[in-house]
Amino acid sequence: MKGADAEARAAAHLASLGREVVARNYRIPGGEIDLITRDGNVLVFTEVRQRRNARFGGAAESVTPRKLALMRRAALAYLVREHGRDDLPCRLEVLTIDGPAETGSLTLIPLDG
C-alpha cells in the first residue's frame, strides 16, 4: 500500500511523544485522515506526507489548500460520527517525511484555525 511505511513511521513517532493512536486511515466520501491520536484530552488529526526526493518540492509543499479543506471536513465528520458532537478539543497537523520513509527527516507542522 502506498504510504503505508510512512504512516507506520509517523504513528510510531507520535506514540513516542506519548500520544495514543486512536485510528488510522479514517475515510469518508471525499476525505481521509491518515492518523488520529489523543494528546491528553485533545484529539489530533494528522496528515502524513512523504517525498523521497525534492525534485517536485518537499513533502510540506505537497499539502494543498484543497487537501486541508478535505482534512477539516473528515475531522468534523469523525467528531460527529464517533463522538456525537463537534465541539471537542482538537487540532490539525501535518507530519512530513523528506527522504525515505524509514530514515527521512521528520517534521511536525501544526495547522492554525
Structural domains in the chain (count): 1
- Residue 49: its pLDDT value, please? 94
3-state secondary structure 27-91: EECCEEEEEEEEECCEEEEEEEEEECCCCCCCCHHHCCHHHHHHHHHHHHHHHHHHHCCCCCCEE
pLDDT of the chain along its 113 residues, tens only? 467 899 999 999 999 999 999 999 999 998 899 999 999 999 999 999 998 877 777 888 888 899 999 999 999 999 999 999 999 999 999 999 999 999 999 999 999 75
- Residue 2: its pLDDT value, please? 60
For 65-97, the pLDDT digits (tens) are 999 999 999 999 999 999 999 999 999 999 999
Q: In CATH, what number is assigned to the domain containing residue 75?
A: 3.40.1350.10
> In what helix (H) or strand (E) does residue 11 lie, and over which residues does it extend?
helix 4-16
Domain interval for residue 57:
4-111
